[in-house]
Structure 1
């Protein structure tokens, strides 16, 4: 019986090649899209799961509210890790990381700039169960000037050799002994390091202050220990260790109770390791995380695209019911039970689903490399028994889901009525088909509006007045190698044709560059909970503002003509408002020297600069002050020449003159700015692709439905033409029914899109306006594409010779 079902199914699919092609093509594209999105999502969901005991590892995070300032940090004080291990027996191990950015590494002569470097405590081996391929994990990072490295880097620096005991030179001055080699971190890790330097060699790790947080601290709980119970003990830790240090600063009249009563708080909490990649976006993250919102979003897109493809099958199957009505009637007269017919139609559906899956898998293999480039991923199709079994099961389930309604609908025909020619397709079938078409285009319009919204927000970000000029600025890296030659190099740069300004400063208005946050208070007053203001405090040179194109709105810029500018400061407008200065010029503010409030520095305000965005547009502009000082790890070079390549060649030539043998590395300021929005740009590209696919699949179904409608109304069209109907009137007749459905789709999609768009834009403090024109454009575009799809078949039917359709009459 099964073989008979299979044979008949193949014959039917072969007989109606056009509809079979439409169904298989649409379903294959939908399945391929769903497979790719599933691979994308599954990678995000698998982050950090490879660590043993991942469910017992947590990161210590902190949140501070103080005098109107709010800090949400993924870092803690250096003393937090050993204190936790000592005070709380439910903790089995702790690990500390201290980010250190780029390092220049060499074995003999040529430096290589390594991006993934960090200082780490020896506890990382126990906390993360990180095995060493070479070396002893018990003491690999217990001594200063030792380092463990990844397998790939060990092969790069010591090819064919045992790296243990060998020496690497870091930043041209420090010798580090290799004490271990670990396996490369997989892509699904929220941090990635190639070099881990021993924490005892870092001076910051010896800091006894609980008020300075720079260390990413992880803990491994013992089996059965409750993270909630441990968190409940943290307020006592704050009172015991942080309270006395805060009191020593504010004076004996300070109390933590009074501190909290004024709306302030210092709170520690635990973030599960498995939640960091998708649920954490704090200051001081070890890497760039994703967002659970994107998982939900792309999961919904995958579901909708697959649903649209399945709807095509259901629509075509029910629409073609009249053609198969006599088949059903004859089968029933000859003794077929309804269950037999249901199985027959389900076999056709499942067969079509399996064909679609095979084609979809081929599509995935073909497009996945391009998708990886677009999405900046390294996805692969996992050909494993589990994966194959999942695909087979999915093909079976989709075949059943897509075919269950058509099979029940077709098998319900009464043979007496069918064989008398009374096939009542009825309003029920038409209403279901219409509802499904509405749903298809509602989702398509929703995706189009989403794509337009993301595109407009990206255009808004790129074109918004940022308060500085990001175009035609070269950021020269490794400028610290110039040491005491900065000024000489700067003067040489100014001799290059096209270069107008040069600034030596590592603090740049781009997230991820130098940042330094300090507390300030007005001169002449004792620091208190009421007057302490947290502010970004950047050390720059006299050419910083002119090079980056910032605007002084009050007072003046730094000048070499004023030696007193060594203790001057320029505030942004947000800082002036925060201090409440009516006339800020000449006012003085005080801060601790390198965070030491026992030794203070007083700055005099000489100017006010217009607020500029120095973080993502998702964040408000916060108080900022710039003063003269050294931060020469990068150099900004503004040029006016249209011949960018020539300017870069001249800069490189000068660099090699000053630093022979050192790498010449640079980026453009506008490109570095754009990297802050990589996730949004990726979302824009992917959303656009999937929106186009959704519309294409929906239009495939509409194309086939229109063709079938025209086929069913062949004689009616012939009679109308004989009676004088024009081609245009017939096209309108055939198109208007589906045109109404597109309009209904738009009416339903608009409010849903409005809600989703506004929820997404809430992530941005500064955002574009999405007016009614966007919704009307999306609706009009969907209507136009659908009308063109219908129009092709309608015109074809309207232009046919009526003699051919009426000759049998």
Structure 2
């Protein structure tokens, strides 16, 4: 019996090959879209789950409010990890990671350096807490001694080929030798820790045992059975026992006074597997994602699949009039309604199977493109893991039953006498209208959402940041120049295409940050202190970056006292409470507390962090620092020619050192790569959703045209024009799109307004966006309907009115 059902289903599929192809393609697009999203979500949810002890590993976060500034960071002090293990038996182990930026690396005895960015200092326990399997070396010993290093397999092959690298020497930053003691397997892509080199923590030159300096990513491994929520409460004890005395010693304030002033110092834990999607901290080891996108894409996947199923229903019911007699004859010959429903379900499942095959082919073909826009490294094998195989094998049945439910119930309900007498009354218009409204409301939400995402990205790129990021060339790894840094800068500035240059410790783009506490002169008191960013700059920094001075002056070689001078931004001056800050004295907490710095100037606030954040307090002091060399290039000259000249100067003054550069606008835009990826993915899914919805609309207008074929014939005989017929068939659908728009607009506004709340500086949501989305949806609707409407309007009325 089952075999017979599928045999008849195959015959119907071949008989109506055009209809079947459209139906299969619509379902295939919906399924392919769903598979892409599930692959993306599966990868996002898998981050850090490969660690064997992942369920017991937690990272310690820190939230601080002090001096009018709030910070939430992913780093803590160096003694916190050892202290937790020493004082609390619930802690089985700990590991600290320290990011010191990129390193220049070369084999001992060679000249040329390679720039390596994925380098971390780590405690020797890193291989006990995390599952980073070693190919060579003892996990407990490889990082137990100073000046030892562990490489990834890829890095070991890059430097030593197939040779055993153990015992070999790598020179870092041209001045320190490290012995290779281990080789680990490459860390999986779905890890928030991206490292190709682990250096022994004992090699780090650091001012240890300071609870108030927070520069380490600290992870703890709890013993089995320990409740993390209960353990979280112990952090108050840590703050009271260790932070309190440090505060009293540093600023003369008790912890109680510190809290009474509205300040706080709080530790918290986040599970290892939650870091990638749920951490909102700054100073992360890399760029994380957001759990909100998982929820959004999950909904999109289900909605696209539902739309594809709705299309199937509409296309199937559109063919119902052609199968009315078939149903009538089957019923007269004794077929029951259940048998007919099983027959139609069999047809739907068969179509779903072919749609699945088509969808898999589409996924295989388009996977490289999807990887490109989503910044993933998904492979075809991901589709054939156990969870996806289970999903794929059950999908045709689920989709077939879901998509075929309405057509099966609808077609099997025909009364044989009415069907055979030609008095078939096709109902269900209300349900079909609801389905069309659902399709277009979803499409309009996606259109509006995509436009707003791109509008926000454009707002970020066009906003006046308070500094000039255009044509600013940043030379990476400037420290490789050593004492040649200043001569290099002076030589490059002489080039025709270079307007200015600067040596500095920090840039107003993603880079390491250094914070300190600043006090009005003689008031080392936490109630008067301000938590502030502290940058080392030279005489040319302000001019090179195009930052405006609103009060006072820039650093000048004419003033010898500027070595103890400061330049503040407007926010810092306001928080310090100076009516006129020029020549006011201040103390820096992390400096000699007896040294007085005089404020020589105030610059207009500029954005040195993401536009998600308010502009923070900032001070700049005149201090030599070759961390960054930046040059303002003349756009009128040939930029590439200028860069080649700069590279020539670099080769003369830093032989063997890699020449790497970027432009400041590129570096700034990198902050918003996640939003750019989401925008691209949303655009792709919006296009697919609209396309699939149009296929459903095409099916529905076909259905309506078949229902009203005799009416159209009569209207033509009575003199109706082609335009009038097209208008007749289109107006109902335009009304449905207008209803869809009225439903979609508030949903889109609420959703995107909530998304924009993550940005302190954001574009406005304006009514033209909604108007254009609505008009676009109406235009798409009219264009989709027009083909079938014109076809029906041009049909010979003799054919439509003749008796069958």
> Does residue 235 of the first structure (1) align with residue 228 of the second (2)?
no
**Counterparts in 2 of 1:28 and 1:129: CA distance versus 1, 3 Å:** closer
1:563-582 matched pairs, under 5 angstroms: 563-582=560-579
How far does the alpha carbon of each residue in 1:391-415 deviate from its partner, in whole angstroms, 9 at most, with x for none? 1101111111111122122212232
**Structure 1 counterpart SS, 2:325:** helix
Q: CA deviation at 1:583?
A: 1.2
User: Residue 522 of structure 1: which of 509, 520, 523 is its match?
Assistant: 520
Q: 567-576 or 128-137, which moves further after superposition?
A: 128-137
Number of the residue aligned with 1:123: 125
CA contact (8 A) 1:148 1:196 kept: yes
Q: Distance in 2 between matches of 1:404 and 1:715?
A: 29
Please give the secondary structure, in 2, of the residue aligned with 1:423: coil
Query: Which residue of the partner structure matches residue 358 of structure 2?
Result: 359
2:254 is matched with: 255
TM-score by length of 1: 0.97
Post-superposition shift, 1:800? 2.8
Q: Which residue of 2 aligns with 1:636?
A: 630
Using the alignment, how far apart are the partners of 1:359 and 1:807 within structure 2?
Answer: 41
Determine helix, strand or coil for the equivalent of 2:128.
helix
SS of aligned partner of 1:467:
coil
CA contact 1:641–1:647 (8 Å) conserved in 2: no
Q: Distance in 1 between matches of 2:43 and 2:101?
A: 26
- Residue 722 of structure 2 corresponds to 727
Cα deviation per residue 1:41-88 (whole Å; 9 max; x = unaligned)?
A: 100000111101110111111111224321212111111111111111
User: Contact 1:571/1:626 (CA < 8 Å) preserved in 2?
Assistant: yes
Aligned residues of 1:535 and 1:625 also touching (Cα < 8 A)? yes
Equivalent position of 1:786 in the other structure: 781
Q: Say whether the 8 Å CA contact 1:59–1:216 is kept in structure 2.
A: yes
Distance in 2 between residues matched to 1:67 and 1:628, nearest whole Å: 23
What is aligned with 2:90?
90
CA contact (8 A) 1:94 1:217 kept: yes
Contact 2:261 2:527 in 1 (8 A): no
> How far apart, in 1, do the equivalents of 2:141 and 2:400 lie?
58
> Partner of 1:743 in structure 2?
738
Aligned pairs for 1:204-215 (under 5 A) are 204=206, 207-215=208-216
2:772: which partner in 1? Answer: 777
Determine whether 1:408 maps to 2:409.
yes
Q: Is the 8 A contact 1:210 1:245 kept in 2?
A: yes
Q: Does the alignment pair 1:132 with 2:134?
A: yes
Tell me, in whole angstroms, the C-alpha distance in 2 between the residues paired with 1:674 and 1:473.
Answer: 14
Structure 1 match to 2:71: 71
Report what 2:532 is aligned to: 535
Name the CA distance, whole Å, in 2 between partners of 1:806 and 1:148.
Answer: 84
CA drift at 1:324: 2.3
TM superposition shift of 1:629 = 0.8
Aligned partners of 1:506, 1:792: CA distance in 2, in Å?
64
Q: Distance in 1 between matches of 2:44 and 2:509?
A: 26
Structure 1 residue 384 displacement after superposition:
4.1
Aligned to 2:546: 549
| Contact 1:507-1:631 at 8 Å conserved across structures | no
Match of 1:686 in 2: 681
SS in 2 for 1:186: coil
Instruction: Determine whether 1:584 maps to 2:586.
Output: no
Task: Give 1:372 deviation, angstroms.
Answer: 0.8
Task: Please report how far the alpha carbon of residue 652 of structure 1 lies from its aligned counterpart in structure 2 after TM superposition.
Answer: 0.9
Among candidates 615, 625, 637, match of residue 609 of structure 2: 615
Secondary structure of the residue that 1:325 maps to in structure 2? helix
* 2:170 pairs with 1:168: yes
Aligned to 1:202: 204
> Alpha-carbon deviation of 1:808?
4.5
User: In the aligned structure 2, how far is the partner of 1:803 from the partner of 1:407?
Assistant: 33
Contact 2:56 2:221 in 1 (8 A): yes
1:604 aligned onto 2:598:
yes
Give the Å deviation of 1:752.
0.6
Structure 2: distance between partners of 1:793 and 1:424: 22
**Per-residue deviation at 1:214?**
0.6
8 A contact 2:279–2:288 mirrored in 1: yes
Aligned residue for 2:474, secondary structure, equals: strand
User: Structure 1: how far apart are the matches of 2:635 and 2:47?
Assistant: 46
1:652 is matched with: 647
Q: Distance in 2 between matches of 1:516 and 1:724?
A: 82
Q: CA–CA distance in 1 between the matches of 2:3 and 2:793? A: 42
Q: How many residues align?
A: 799
Shift of 1:385: 5.4
Q: Which residue of 2 aligns with 1:395?
A: 396
Q: Which moved more, 1:136-145 or 1:709-718?
A: 709-718
**Which residue does the alignment assign to 2:449?**
450
Q: Where does structure 2 lack aligned partners over 5 or more consecutive residues? A: none
TM-fit CA distance, 1:111: 0.7
Superposition deviation, residue 807 in structure 1? 4.8
Counterpart Cα distance in 2 of 1:263 and 1:675 = 35
How far off its partner does 1:283 sit? Answer: 2.0
Distance in 1 between residues matched to 2:580 and 2:482, nearest whole Å: 39
Q: State the partner residue of 2:9.
A: 9
In the alignment, the residues of structure 2 paired with residue 700 and residue 139 of structure 1 have an alpha-carbon distance, to the nearest angstrom, of: 63
Specify every segment of 5 or more residues in structure 1 that has no aligned partner in the other structure, as ranges. none
Distance 1:763 1:772 in 2: 21
Q: Which range moved further: 184-193 or 11-20?
A: 11-20
Query: What's the TM-score, normalizing by structure 2?
Result: 0.97
What's the secondary structure of 1:215's corresponding residue? strand
Per the TM alignment, residue 805 of structure 1 is displaced from its structure 2 partner at its CA by 2.9
CA distance in 1, matches of 2:687, 2:391: 27
Secondary structure of residue in 2 paired with 1:203: coil
- Aligned mates of 1:524, 1:66 — CA distance in 2: 19
Q: CA deviation at 1:171?
A: 0.7
Instruction: Give the conservation status (yes or no) of the 8 Å contact 2:152–2:186.
Output: yes
Q: Measured at CA, do residues 644 and 250 of structure 1 come closer, stay the same or move farther in structure 2, by a change above 3 Å?
A: closer
Residues 361-387 of structure 1, C-alpha deviation per residue, up to 9 Å, x if partnerless?
A: 000000001111121110112234553
Aligned position for 1:146: 148
1:642-673 per-residue CA deviation (whole Å, 9 max, x = no partner) reads 31111111111111121122111100111111
Distance (Å, rounded) in 1 between the aligned partners of 2:132 and 2:664: 38
Tell me, what secondary structure is at the counterpart of 2:72?
strand
